[in-house]
Each structure stands twice: as C-alpha cells, then as structure tokens.
Amino acid sequence: MINLTINGQEHELDVPGDMPLLWALRDVVKLTGTKFGCGIAQCGACTVHLDGEATRSCVTPVASAEGKAVTTIEAMADDDVGQRVQQAWLELGVAQCGYCQGGQIMTATALLKENSNPDGAEIRDAMNGNLCRCGTYNRIEAAVARAAGMEDKS
Amino acid sequence: MSRIGNSVMLANVSRRHFLRGLAAGSAFVMAARWGLATAADSAEVKYGAAAMPGGWVDNPNVFIRIDADGTVTITNHRAEMGQGIRTSLALVAADELGADWDRVKVEQADANQDKYGNQNTDGSRSMRHWYEPMRRAAAGARLMLEQAAADQWGVPVDEVETRVHEVVHKNSDRSLGFGELAAAARELEVPDRDQLTLKPDSQLRYIGRETGLVNGDLTNRDTRPPAIDGEDVVTGKARFGADVQMDNMLYAVIARPPVLGATIKSVDDSATLGVRGVVKTITLEGTGMPAAFSPLGGVAVVAENTWAAIKGRDALEIEWNMEPAGDNARYTSNDYRQMLEERAESAGKVVRESGDIEKALKEANKTVTATYYMPHMAQAPMEPPVAIVQFNGDTAEAWAPVQHPRATRQGVAGALGLDLEKVTVHQTLLGGGFGRKSKPDFVIEAARLASQFKGRPVRVQWTREDDIHHAYFHAVSVDRLEAALDSDGKATGWLHRTLSPSIGSLFAEDPKHKADFELGMGFNTMPFDIPAIRLENPEAAAHTRIGWFRAVYNLPHAWAIQSFAAEMAEAAGRDHRDYLLELLGEPRKINPSEFKDGWNYGENPEVYPIDIGRMRAVVERATREANWDNKDRGERRGLGLAMHHSFVSYTAIVMDVEVDDAGEVIIHRADIAFDCGRAVNPERVRSQMEGACVMGIGIALQSEVSFRDGKAEQDNFDRYLIPRMENAPREVHVHLVDGGEDAPMGGVGEPGLPPVAPALCNAIYAATGKRIRRLPVADQLG
Ligand code: FES
Ligand code: FES
C-alpha cells in the first residue's frame, strides 16, 4: 500500500511502488488534469508539485512521493499564485488545444512562488522544459509576466 | 398547427432541403475529395461545403436549443483541436441569434453525418464551410422566437425585434426573454430559408470584432467573450480523449510491427503475464496493404492500468517476420533522398507547361539551379492517440479525440460487424490533431480489443514512442528548381520538378505520382508571371505510411519555391521583396484551371480565383511592418521573407533572425501578414498564426524522422525535436490584411505554416550567407 497526500487529501493506493505518480494520479485516483505527453521527462505535460517543487510525475515512482505533499492542477484554483496564473492565462487567451496547459500552469506557478518577479530570460528558462505543440509560447511568456505583475498590485 | 409568419406563403415547402442541406452523391464527392474527378464527370458540379460528404445543414433545431431558464445551447459538430472552433462557431450563432454570450453553452455532437452534415475537420474548412449555415440556423431560431412573441402579443411579426437575449415589441415597451419564449418557439415550424434575413454587419456584436491580445496589447478586455473551454482548461477539468473515465475499464498498449507490413513470427508472453496488473495478451492481425486507416496489428497487452500494460509490453519477446514488408524493410531515408535527388536531374511527368523552357534556359544570360529536401515528420499532437470502445454485443460506444468522426464510426462498425446506426462515437476534445487524428486507426484498435471483452470499456493508449514510430508521416520531398534569367536579371524560364510519395499510396496501389489535390497545394498553383514554365512530377514510391500533416504538400512546395525566389533575387542582384513582387507581376485574378489545377481546395474557382493582388498585399504589408527598407540589422543578423497561398488564404512572413557564433538561431521578431477574407474571430486567427509560426520554426530547424531498414530512428522528444520556448520568436506580430469587399472566406488553421520555413531559411542566409537546402537546419550552422 502506498500512502499519498494529494491536494491535501490522504489516499491509500494499492499499486506497485514503481508505478509513476502520473499513472497513479490518472488511472487510480482519477485526477486527469495531469497529462501524459512523453513519459521520459521531456515535455512537462505531467508536471505536479511535490512539496511545492515542479516535478515530472511521469518519471517519479509513486513510492518516492510518499510523505510529500502532491499538488496537481486541480488544486490551483485554491492557490493564490495559481489563481493569478490561471487568470492571466484566460485574459491573454493562452491556450489552443489546452492539453499542455495544466503542466505549463504548474511550472509557471512554481516559478512565481520562487521568484515573484522573473524577467523574460528567467521565464523562458523556467518554462523551456514544457512543450506546447500548438506553439503558444509567446502568450505563455506574456501570461507569466502578467501574473507576476498582478502580485505586485495586490 | 402552429405556423410562422402571417401568410400561407410560409408553408414550409423546402423543409426537406432545410434538413438535409445539399448533400451530393457520395461517389462523386469522394472522387472530388481526392482530386480524381474533373468537372466533366458530373453534370452538376458542387463546391465548398456542398461538395463534402453529408454537405451542410442549417436547421436551427439541429444546432440550437433554448431552455426555459434562457440558457442557449449550441451544438458544435466539428472537432475542437485548438483552433477554437467550439468558441468561434458558437459566437457566430450567438451573434445572429442575439444571444448573450454569458448564457450560451456549447454541447459537442456525436458522430452523425446524416444529422449534422460533414464533420470531417481538416483542410482548414470549418469556418469557411459553416459560417453561413450557422448564421442561417441562428437567424431561423431568432425568427421563431420573434414569431412566438408576436403570437403571444397578437401583433404582426414585423413589429417585434430581437435585442440581447430578449424579443421586444417596438410599439410598446413589452418584452419577453428567450427563456420565456422557448417553449412556444419550439412548437413552430422551421421557417423557410428565403424568409430569413441575416443581421447587417452594423448589428453584429461578436463577429469580426478584435478582442484579446493584439500584438502585445489587450483589446476590448472587458467585453471579450470568454473562450468556451478556457476555464476548464486552466483548472484541469477539460476532458480530452485521454481523460475519459469509465467503470471497469481495461487499459491496453500494443506492440506494433516495427516496419510497415511486417507480421508476427512468434510471441513469448510468459514474462508479460507475470507483471502485476496484466490481464491478457491478444494478437492482432495486421490488415495488410494498402494500410489506409487500418490498424497495423501486433500484440496487445491488456491490463488493469496503463502502467501495467506498458510494463507488460516491455516484457514481451516478439520475433517479427520482415518478409511480408518487402521493400519497406530496406527503406533507408538517406539513400532514398539521394535516389530522388538523382532522379530529379531527369525529366518526369509534365503537369503544367507554358512557353518554351528549353529555349529559355538555352538563351539565358544566367541560370540558377537548386535542389531542396524536406524530411519525414510526425504530427506529434501533444495528446498521443487514445481511444475507448465498449462493445455490448449488438451495439458499441466509442469515446475518442478524432478529426473525422464519420470515418471513425465506419471503422468501429466495420471492426465489430455492426451497422453504422448501432455505433455511437462520442467526440472529445482533441489534445492537438495536425492531421494525425484524421485517421481513426487507433479507435479501430480499441474496437477490435473491445470485441473480446463484451460489456467492458477498453482503452488503447499510444505512448509517445508509438506515436512517432508509427505516425502517418509527412512525405519526404525533393524539389529541384532551375530558372533562366535575362541580362537584366528578369526571370524568363522556370523549371520545377517535385518528387515525393503520394498520400494516395495509403489507400490504393501506389500511384507514385502526386494526385491533383497534392499538386494543387502550391506546386501547379505556383503564381509567378514567367514566360516559360514547366512543372514536372517524376515518380516516387512510398515505403511507409504517408499521411496529412498540417498544410500537407504546401510545406515542401512553399519551402522550395520561396527559398528559390530568394536565390534568384540574389543571382539577379536584386532586393528580394522587389524581385518577389516582380515575379508575382501585376495584380490579377487567375482561374486555377489555367494552372491545370482542377481542385482549388474544393472551392468554386469563380469565387476563389488565385488572386495576385492579395498576394502582393500580404508581401507589402509584412515587409512594411518589419521595416524591410531598413534591412541592415547588424552582424550575423538579417531579414528573410516568404509568401504562400494555401487553403484559399494568403500569408507572408518576414523574420528577423540572428545566428550566434555557436550556430544557434535567435528569432528576434516575426511579422506575419495574413488575409483570410473576413476574420470571424480575429483573436483565434491571430493565435493560429502565432502557433503556426512556432511549428514552422521546428520544421525549419529541428524536426525530422529518418528511417533505417524500414524503422523510424526517432521515437520521442529527446530525438524528434519540436520547438521549445527558447526557439519561439521573441516577438510575433500578426497583421490581418483586408482582402477587400469581395474577398471570400479562407482557411486559417493551416495557411500560416508553409511560409515559415522558407522565411526563416532566407533570414539565415541574410544573416550568415549560408544557404539552407536541406531541412532541418539542425547543426548545419555550427
Ligand atoms: S509526460 Fe512527463 S515530461 Fe512528458
Ligand atoms: S495548447 Fe496545445 S499543446 Fe499546448
């Protein structure tokens, strides 16, 4: 049995310890906001926060997440920074198909929690691991900057 | 019996037509779709939406429902894959209806061509084919609401009008909300089409209005109608194909033959069956050649979750029989390229000719020759193919992210031996499509597996390795061009040979030549005004599955032609923009048939001529916005230009590019001028242009699937590279060009893509003097 704390809730999962957190979230806990894109830490679609740190859940064995706080895109609406990021995303119409955007928002939120006012180069550096096949990068960059600006105002 | 209007004239004589649209005979339609028929084959030639299987439908009752609480539900029957069609088509209907966007919901239609008309979402057609039917459907619904109000008040219908979400009596202050009228309106007959009046532009609230991000500024921020799926996407609630959850579901991944046509010799699944969570392995026969939309066969591992299935597949021991693959097992793309390059030196099948090219080349003051290569690429939508099918014995249900719901329904029905009506296909959101999800092979796989687990939903999940290794690849292409220039540098002759395997090889015996619709993608529609032109298409055989990739054959054609135009300008010692405008010649409208193009993206050549004026306009606009006249941008930095006409729209791009000492390409800015006729939802048009720009940068710089001995050599994003944020332009500016009063509506999803790679390679030349003739650029600048 694997014990996980996901978005503040305790879960007991009957899965092998080597199952990637991604598949435990999607297939077992049925939280599908975390996406599968590559399975080899190349695309960022599966990004979650482990104790606040942006983490590729596709290469994170579920056993190694025990005892840590797992946070997924489903919880971002309840997070101050996450909320601002979501708002900026909507205002700038970032998403096209949307499939990558949960992962993008998770990475962006982790960045802003660490660095509340990143410059363009810092944003590009932090976001470079998240692929978007629809090519929404310019709007992502603008939206991260915008979300940071919102924090300044508050 | 309720009726609409005051006179008998409104008896609904054409109701039948209203319901069915103008569906054409399907044999001709299929032929036209493939560019295999000419006008002479049919007495009545149909174009546009009417020529598509299932045609169009504009019955309000099919697309619009109003509830007593005033909620307006609009049914979207096209695939949503990021182009924003669920929002944009609903905005069209809401605007014409007079609905308040905050009270509009969108429901996704199941696959049902008889009910909804054509649902095949490719060819950049959704808006240009459905704008008018949607407006008519909404105008009909509006008239029904108005009639219901007039009936209730006992006044003539011309005394009432619709305002936002309500109908008012102009002569009194009475008003009734849409919700209050809904029940009565629903009882009315659908009005005849000729009774409808569409709103004048001055009364439109959403259509054509600039909102959202316009080149860095937020426009009409507070009145922008929110995207229908926006909120769901940012909160993780949006349901893609991959996200469908069913009780009691089984999860499968499949080990497919590594080479097209190979079969299974032997399987040892003993280790697989020992993996915790694995339920069963199932051997699937391949369906042989041509591959069409059929599964490739292989060994399926069915499990209780995705991870168990993946681990189980890793544990399989399979020996493949390469014999049936024949030549495919010897396919090595590097050798193939060299073979095509050699073949390009000799004449091939002539597809268009004017003037005397031999003479022009002989008498030239100077000739320019270049051969260009574009490799295989995989569409690689961010959501890999995935599908769920449940077989119930005499019915089946499928949930899948597909561009072509009709073909999906047919494929599932065929796999399960059911009548079409017994199969329900639920269309989910697509996590990207780009042509990959036009092919329902992955849903048919799920159907075949589901047939063995009656009553249980079975999901087939493709991994990224599956997606890239077993793509329907963008065809490789070799394009050889030769031009004759006179002593003033003016072009007097143009000889272009294009060689690539045809998508036709997917469906029939390999034609080895491009079909009309493939040539019509920018090859025989090459617009330059040159006295002697010869266009040839020598043979090229297919050795893997070839399929549509966003913009399709426009990609190599535009890349070669627009790179070569820059090379010609260089040879003539002329400015590239000025030379390109000279090649285009005077503004004029050309019937595509003059260019031996009988396809014209399915559109009427009278309505959609090849418009040189619009080409010139986008070139002029893009270069002006990019400040072309001030081309000097410093050391190792330069501007590149390209223009292309595709999907009956017009695009020109200027890129401002720096190449650093390490050979890294930095794109400072892209200026995209785009004319698609009326831009219905400019905000989404801009986003499509921005996205196409990024994808095109990947085509230029990074993306290649190469083959060795019949096997794709790349299988994930570590080696099949697609653009990351660092590759995107620092700034993208999109300039929507007004094509003029009579400019018909063009495509949006694809036409932004073809000119990107040539613009970028032309800029690399301006920056470094290095001419790129083989894509991707990769380390050629290092
Ligand atoms: S799925 Fe984890 S990084 Fe791509
Ligand atoms: S929005 Fe489609 S992959 Fe990013």
* pLDDT single digits (tens) B107-163: 999 999 999 999 999 999 999 999 999 999 999 999 999 999 999 999 999 999 999
pLDDT of residue B22 exceeding 50: no
pLDDT band at residue B1, thresholds of 50, 70 and 90? very low
CB atoms B464 and A95 under 8 Å: no
Smallest CA–CA distance from A76 into chain B, residue: B235
Tokens of B21: 């649209």
Q: pLDDT for A26-81, tens place per residue? A: 999 999 999 999 999 999 999 999 999 999 999 999 999 999 999 999 999 999 99
In a shared domain, residues B544 and B662:
yes
CATH code, B285: 3.30.365.10
Task: Note the pLDDT of residue B9.
Answer: 29
In a shared domain, residues B104 and B170:
yes
The residues, any chain, with a CB within 8 Å of residue B235's CB and separated by 6 or more, are A33, A73, A74, A76, A77, A86
In a shared domain, residues B219 and B297:
no
CB atoms A135 and B693 under 8 Å: yes
In a shared domain, residues B545 and B453:
no
Residue at token pair 């223009």: B643
Q: Which residue of B235, B382, B716 is in closest CB contact with A76?
A: B235
Cα torsion angle, B338, B344, B348, B349, sign: positive
In a shared domain, residues B344 and B402:
no
Classified as helix, coil or strand, B116 is: helix
In a shared domain, residues B389 and B373:
no
pLDDT band at residue A151, thresholds of 50, 70 and 90? low
Total Cβ atoms within 10 A of residue A150? 17
Residue B372 exposure: Cα atoms within 13 Å on the Cβ side: 29
pLDDT band at residue B741, thresholds of 50, 70 and 90? confident
pLDDT of residue B38 exceeding 60: no
Smallest CA–CA distance from B381 into chain A, residue: A133
Determine, yes or no, domain membership for B773: no
Please give the Cα distance from B775 to B705 (Å, whole number): 11
B508-517 mean pLDDT: 96
Alpha carbon of B199: minimum distance to chain A alpha carbons (Å):
28
Contact B532, B476 (CB under 8 A): no
Is A54 near chain B, with CB under 8 Å?
no
The rounded Å distance from CA B239 to ligand 1 centre is 18
B528-542 mean pLDDT: 98
Strand intervals (E) in B185-295: 212-214, 217-219, 250-255, 263-268, 278-284
pLDDT of residue B20 exceeding 70: no
Per-residue HEC secondary structure of B413-445 comes to: HHHHCCCHHHEEEEECECCCCCCHHHCCHHHHH
B61-82 mean pLDDT: 98
Structural domain harbouring B80: 8-235
Q: Pick from B154, B236, B144: which is nearest to B188 by CA?
A: B144
Task: Note the pLDDT of residue B742.
Answer: 85
Cα torsion angle, B43, B46, B51, B54, sign: negative
% of chain B with per-residue pLDDT over 70: 95
Alpha carbon of B305: minimum distance to chain A alpha carbons (Å):
6
Determine, yes or no, domain membership for B1: no
Q: Return the CA Rg of chain A.
A: 15
Top residue of B725, B727, B750 to mutate, by most chain A CBs within 10 Å, is B725
In a shared domain, residues B573 and B673:
yes
Q: What's the DSSP call for residue B640?
A: E
Contact B97, B72 (CB under 8 A): yes
Contact B749, B690 (CB under 8 A): no
Task: Note the pLDDT of residue B383.
Answer: 98
The residues, any chain, with a CB within 8 Å of residue A64's CB and separated by 6 or more, are none
Ranges B25-39, B554-568, B598-612, B740-754: which has the least confidence: B25-39
B11-31 mean pLDDT: 35
Determine, yes or no, domain membership for B734: yes
Query: Closest ligand to A37 CA?
Result: 1
Q: pLDDT for B614-628, tens place per residue? A: 999 999 999 999 999
B572-586 mean pLDDT: 98
Chain B hits for A101, CB-CB cut-off 8 Å, are: 233-234
pLDDT band at residue B221, thresholds of 50, 70 and 90? confident
B689-694 mean pLDDT: 98
ipTM over 0.90: yes
Cβ burial B349-368 (10 Å sphere, 16+ → b, else e): eebbeeeebeebbeebeeeb
Q: Pick from B562, B572, B487, B484: which is nearest to B530 by CA?
A: B484
Is A148 near chain B, with CB under 8 Å?
no
Task: Note the pLDDT of residue B19.
Answer: 36
Q: pLDDT for A75-112, tens place per residue? A: 999 999 999 999 999 999 999 999 999 999 999 999 99
Mean pLDDT, chain B, whole residue set:
94
Q: pLDDT for A12-29, tens place per residue? A: 999 999 999 999 999 999
Q: pLDDT for B666-688, tens place per residue? A: 999 999 999 999 999 999 999 99
In a shared domain, residues B449 and B477:
no
Task: Note the pLDDT of residue B288.
Answer: 79
Task: Note the pLDDT of residue B14.
Answer: 38
A56 lines ligand 1 (CB under 6 A): yes
Residue B429 exposure: Cα atoms within 13 Å on the Cβ side: 29
Last-in-domain residue among B235, B259, B274: B235
Last-in-domain residue among B431, B461, B491: B461
pLDDT of residue B567 exceeding 60: yes
Contact B148, B181 (CB under 8 A): yes
Task: Note the pLDDT of residue B10.
Answer: 29
Please give the Cα distance from B60 to B37 (Å, whole number): 34
Ranges A15-24, B43-52, B260-269, B296-305: which has the least confidence: B43-52
A15 lines ligand 1 (CB under 6 A): no
In a shared domain, residues B230 and B247:
no
Task: Note the pLDDT of residue B287.
Answer: 77
Smallest CA–CA distance from A134 into chain B, residue: B691
pLDDT of residue B540 exceeding 70: yes
Angle between helices A101-114 and A120-127 (to 10 degrees): 130
Contact B429, B401 (CB under 8 A): yes
In a shared domain, residues B439 and B542:
no
Task: Note the pLDDT of residue B728.
Answer: 98
Determine, yes or no, domain membership for B774: no
Phi, psi of B236, deg, nearest 5: 80, 10
Task: Note the pLDDT of residue B222.
Answer: 82
Last-in-domain residue among B439, B461, B483: B461
B376-387 mean pLDDT: 98
Straight-line distance from the first to the last Cα atom of chain B, in angstroms, rounded to the nearest whole number = 79
Q: pLDDT for B289-326, tens place per residue? A: 899 999 999 999 999 999 999 999 999 999 999 999 99
Would you call B585 exposed, middle or buried from its count of C-beta atoms within 10 A (0-12, 13-18, 19+)? middle
Q: Tell me whether the omega of the peptide bond preceding residue B290 falls within 30 degrees of 0, making it cis.
A: yes
A45 lines ligand 1 (CB under 6 A): yes
B23-31 mean pLDDT: 34
In a shared domain, residues B708 and B622:
yes
In a shared domain, residues B214 and B315:
no
Determine, yes or no, domain membership for B624: yes
Smallest CA–CA distance from B81 into chain A, residue: A97
Domain count for chain B, please give it.
3
Contact B439, B293 (CB under 8 A): yes
Could you tell me the domains of chain A? Answer: 2-75 (3.10.20.30), 76-147 (1.10.150.120)
Task: Note the pLDDT of residue B44.
Answer: 78
H/E segment holding residue A91: helix A80-91
Chain A hits for B235, CB-CB cut-off 8 Å, are: 33, 73-74, 76-77, 86
Determine, yes or no, domain membership for B3: no
Contact B650, B746 (CB under 8 A): yes
